[in-house]
Amino acid sequence: MMMPAASQLSSPHLLGIEGLSPAEIELLLDLSEHYVKMNRSGNKKSDVLRGRTIINVFFEASTRTRTSFELAGKRLGADVINISPEVSAVRKGETLLDTALTLDAMHADLLVVRHPESGAVQLIAEKVRCAVVNGGDGAHEHPTQALLDALAIRRRLGRLHGLVVAICGDILHSRVARSNMLLLKTMGADVRVVAPPTLMPADIDRYGVSVFHDLAEGVRDADIVMMLRLQQERMRGSYVPSIAEYFHFYGLDRAKLAGAKPDALIMHPGPMNRGVEIDSDVADDINRSLIQEQVEMGVAVRMACLDLLTRDLSTNQGTGQ
Amino acid sequence: MTPLFFQDVRLLDPASGLDAVGGLLVEAGRIADLGAHLDAAPDGAAVIDGAGLCLAPGLIDMRVRLGEPGEEHKETFETLSAAAGRGGVAVVIGLPNTDPPIDDASVVEFVARRAREVKGVKIYVYAAASRGFDGKRLTEIGLLKRAGALAFTDGDHAIADAQMMRRVLSYASGFDALIIQHAEEPALTAGAVATEGEIATRLGLPAGPAAAEAILLERDMRLVELTGARYHAAHLSTGAAVEELASAKRKGLDVSADTAPAYFALNETEILGYRTFAKLTPPLRAESDRRAVVRALRDGVIDIIASDHWGQDQEAKRLPFVQAEPGIVGLETMLPLALELYHKGEIDLLDLLAKMTCNPARLLDLPSGVLTVGAPADLVLFDLDRPTLIDVARFASKSKNSPFDGRPVQGVVMATLVDGRFVYDGRDG
């Protein structure tokens, strides 16, 4: 597929996959490849972000995403600090925007923001002068997760176009699903979503995806089976009746996977609930599971995002007192 | 098993529209042949003379209280099966309101095992839609359906919370499972034992408005539209609710309803004198509602007649009206009470029988309820016109709570067969 090559992103922020062109996605993935190589080499450190300040602002608990962003920033030579406003200023009554402006005044070059409310990251991006990367907002978007998933797929199968990808599980509450649907559809994949009706958002087919309520049917002839995490509090009768029933009908095991392509790959954004949405037998199959590779790709993809978003950024002068 | 041959009998099959005198051959528990052309018994077959009698598919009663487990002093599987047989009922479907409730696959399996032991009529069950009928937590609808639950209902508890009902419908739709609702808005009927109106007022009984039924049904129709689920309203009793249902059906929603004989044969005057045998849930309604129910049966808006059988012992009924338990035993009176509608010229015979045979069979995906070659030989042999008096003393049910005692009716069950086996044979008496 021919597309105009991009050398930079059209937006100063990465708030979502929505709005990214195929060329921009290719650019991010290609640059990520470069960082995969670097991360696997002896010298993992570069200085492209030397002198830059990155602040990871996580309003919602996270270990793997925050660590991944932190490592990405540090490997590029930036100064990285982590703050969790949920346990500091916000408790003291500071508003979201006050927190953002405070950080901006400290001359940060880039904020990585995760927030439990959809749209909160965009709200911050509108108020600050530095670049903002969405580290996950509510049930809206988690763009770096979709990019790392795409990178893991592309490295294994050589393409995204024309692949059959089944995204399975709690679609309703999942920002990972939304970002992945957008990215995979943009890149020409054939995307399916599989969930019990109580965990399927309304009009989901408007994403151009096909909707299934039966896991075995949904994964039939799939190249990729992407499982989503089911939050514990959603299993106790309000959305699904029990863990036992969920695993029986929507947990990925060998039997349900049988109809997928013989070499179909399994993905999961982590952390996994073994015995809830995925059987260990499948999750740990080194021939089919991309789960460890996804984690590795995460660091490289975030390096590419930080790199691209700070390239043309003039030093943040700020107006702090 | 010796083949059975019903000779010279009026064959009534609502599913195919067959109404003709002829023969029907049963072999190995199934219908082997039937029709007007069949006039001579094959060699070796036991012949049953059907002259002057009707032979129809054994009735399917889709709404029955089991008693077991938990209330064996009111009804056991043995007495229930005997009562069903006397009533011409070959298949009963039990509500999950047992103790413990049927909200777990192990209880579904217990009922299946007990039903096999009794070797009487076929007994299936529904499972609860919410755990312990709490109206908050979904049951394992997928696993319960796999275990054999035919549909999901909280029995005589309405699923009241709109969000919960939406989730129940939505989740069930993923398994193509049917949801059965007791459609009464409980916020309007809490503590009520009668329908609001002059009679309840004069008796000084706490009453709820008849509109409580239409109010919940209307909400449910919107939720069915939203979720695309399959929905069945149980024991509809008011004209307003019938109108809601008719309108939903016109919209093409996958909805249906049943009613019980009490709601087309009685009205609220029956509770005068504080007759606790006429205490039901929903309560008996005004005469105009009774007439609306009859019209809805005739027009096909109400698809099914179910007995709503609920045995109560003396202690549960010999109490002040408010404290008495609701419910009537219905298995042995469903057919003659339904036939009143035919004898009065309200409904055609085949249309009426369809509501107790092929309609519930289709709704619940059962192979019974039809006279078709290859179908299970679940049959009822009955005298359509013979007059009799309902006599609770002769009921096989363990409980005798019926407001119909002494009522003159027409129509007597002569025999009931399940898989070609007699579960009731009253041809001598």
**CATH number assigned to the domain comprising residue B315:** 3.20.20.140
Q: Among B137, B143, B174, whose Cβ lies nearest the Cβ of A196?
A: B174
| Closest approach of B142 to chain A, Cα-based (Å) | 7
Which residues of A touch chain B, with CB atoms under 8 Å apart?
196-198, 213-214, 236-242, 244-245, 248-249
Which residue carries 């009176």 as its tokens?
B333
* Residue B96, token pair as written in the block: 């999950």
Share of chain A above pLDDT 90, in %: 79
pLDDT value of position A103: 87
Same domain, B103 and B185: yes
* Residue B87, token pair as written in the block: 């009533």
Domain end: B364, B388, B417, which one? B364
As a whole number of angstroms, the distance between CA A56 and CA A302 comes to: 12
Same domain, B145 and B263: yes
- pLDDT over 90 at A98, yes or no: no
Same domain, B47 and B116: no
Asked if residues B213 and B236 have their Cβ atoms less than 8 Å apart, the reply is yes
As a whole number of angstroms, the distance between CA B146 and CA B82 comes to: 28
Same domain, B238 and B140: yes
**Residue B292 is assigned to a structural domain of this protein:** yes
**Residue B187 is assigned to a structural domain of this protein:** yes
User: What mean pLDDT comes out for the span A150-158?
Assistant: 97
B315: Cα separation from own chain's centroid: 25
Query: At residue A232, what are phi and psi to the nearest 5 degrees?
Result: -50, -45
As a whole number of angstroms, the distance between CA A151 and CA A144 comes to: 10
Q: Which of B137, B140, B159, B173 to mutate to test the interface with A (most CBs of A within 10 A)?
A: B140
Beta bridge partners of B89: B59
* Other residues' Cβ atoms within 10 Å of the Cβ of residue B145: 20
| Closest approach of B144 to chain A, Cα-based (Å) | 10
Strand order in the sheet with B89-94: B59-64, B89-94, B122-125
**Residue B371 is assigned to a structural domain of this protein:** no
| Closest approach of A186 to chain B, Cα-based (Å) | 29
As a 3-state breakdown, chain A gives helix, strand, coil percent values, each rounded to 5, of: 40, 15, 45
**Residue B370 is assigned to a structural domain of this protein:** no
Same domain, B411 and B317: no
Question: What's the pLDDT band for A311 if we cut at 50, 70, 90?
Answer: confident
- The mean pLDDT of chain B is 97
Task: Find which of A4-8, A289-293, B246-250 is predicted with most confidence, using mean pLDDT.
Answer: B246-250
Q: Among B136, B142, B167, whose Cβ lies nearest the Cβ of A245?
A: B142
- pLDDT over 70 at A86, yes or no: no
B129: Cα separation from own chain's centroid: 19
Same domain, B295 and B318: yes
| Closest approach of A176 to chain B, Cα-based (Å) | 23
As a whole number of angstroms, the distance between CA B36 and CA B51 comes to: 13
Q: What is the pTM of this model?
A: 0.92
Q: Among B139, B140, B171, whose Cβ lies nearest the Cβ of A198?
A: B171
Asked if B132 has any chain A CB less than 8 Å from its own CB, the reply is no
Same domain, B195 and B294: yes
- Sequence-separated (6 or more) residues with CB below 8 Å from residue B82: B120, B396, B397, B424
* Other residues' Cβ atoms within 10 Å of the Cβ of residue B362: 16
Taking CA–CA distances from A240, the nearest residue in chain B reads: B138
**Residue B333 is assigned to a structural domain of this protein:** yes
Cβ distance of B167 and A198 shorter than 8 Å: yes
Q: Where are the extended beta strands (E) located within chain A? A: 53-58, 79-83, 110-115, 131-137, 164-168, 190-194, 210-212, 224-227, 265-267
Same domain, B46 and B124: no
Share of chain B above pLDDT 70, in %: 100
**Residue B182 is assigned to a structural domain of this protein:** yes
Chain B residues inside the 8 Å CB shell of A213 = 173-174
Taking CA–CA distances from A215, the nearest residue in chain B reads: B174
Range of the domain at B357: 59-364
pLDDT value of position A321: 31
* Residue A221, token pair as written in the block: 């002839």
- Sequence-separated (6 or more) residues with CB below 8 Å from residue B265: B290, B337, B340, B404
**Three-state DSSP class for residue B92:** strand
For residue A173, CA distances in Å to A226, B261, B278 come to 15, 47, 50
Chain A residues inside the 8 Å CB shell of B171 = 196-198, 239-241
Q: Which of A49-63, A227-241, B52-66, B269-283 has the lowest mean pLDDT?
A: A227-241
User: What mean pLDDT comes out for the span B232-237?
Assistant: 98
Domain end: B311, B337, B364, which one? B364
Question: What's the pLDDT band for A320 if we cut at 50, 70, 90?
Answer: very low
Q: Establish whether B161 is a catalytic residue.
A: no
| Closest approach of B149 to chain A, Cα-based (Å) | 15
If you count residue pairs, one on A and one on B, with CB atoms under 8 Å apart, how many are there? 46
Cβ distance of A238 and B138 shorter than 8 Å: yes
Question: What's the pLDDT band for A319 if we cut at 50, 70, 90?
Answer: very low
User: What mean pLDDT comes out for the span B330-355?
Assistant: 98
Among the residues of A48-95, which ranges form H helices?
64-75
Same domain, B315 and B394: no
**ipTM rounded to 2 decimals:** 0.86
Taking CA–CA distances from A239, the nearest residue in chain B reads: B167
Question: What's the pLDDT band for A61 if we cut at 50, 70, 90?
Answer: confident
As a whole number of angstroms, the distance between CA A134 and CA A141 comes to: 8
Domain end: B317, B335, B364, which one? B364
Query: At residue A298, what are phi and psi to the nearest 5 degrees?
Result: -55, -45
Residue type, A266: I
For residue A315, CA distances in Å to A109, A113, A305, B192, B425 come to 7, 20, 18, 74, 97
Same domain, B358 and B386: no
Asked if B171 has any chain A CB less than 8 Å from its own CB, the reply is yes
Torsion angle, alpha carbons of A303, A304, A305, A311, to 10? 100
Same domain, B154 and B289: yes
**Residue B286 is assigned to a structural domain of this protein:** yes
Tell me how many domains chain B contains.
2
Question: What's the pLDDT band for A7 if we cut at 50, 70, 90?
Answer: confident
**Residue B369 is assigned to a structural domain of this protein:** no
As a whole number of angstroms, the distance between CA B348 and CA B422 comes to: 28
- Sequence-separated (6 or more) residues with CB below 8 Å from residue B409: B333, B336, B337, B339, B340, B387, B388, B389, B390
The CATH number that applies at residue B34 is 2.30.40.10
Same domain, B409 and B285: no
B19-33 b/e (C-beta count within 10 Å ≥ 16 → b): bebbbbbbbeebbbe
Q: What is the pLDDT of residues B88-110, one digit of tens each?
A: 999 999 999 999 999 999 999 99
Chain A residues inside the 8 Å CB shell of B140 = 241-242, 244-245
Q: Among B137, B143, B227, whose Cβ lies nearest the Cβ of A197?
A: B227
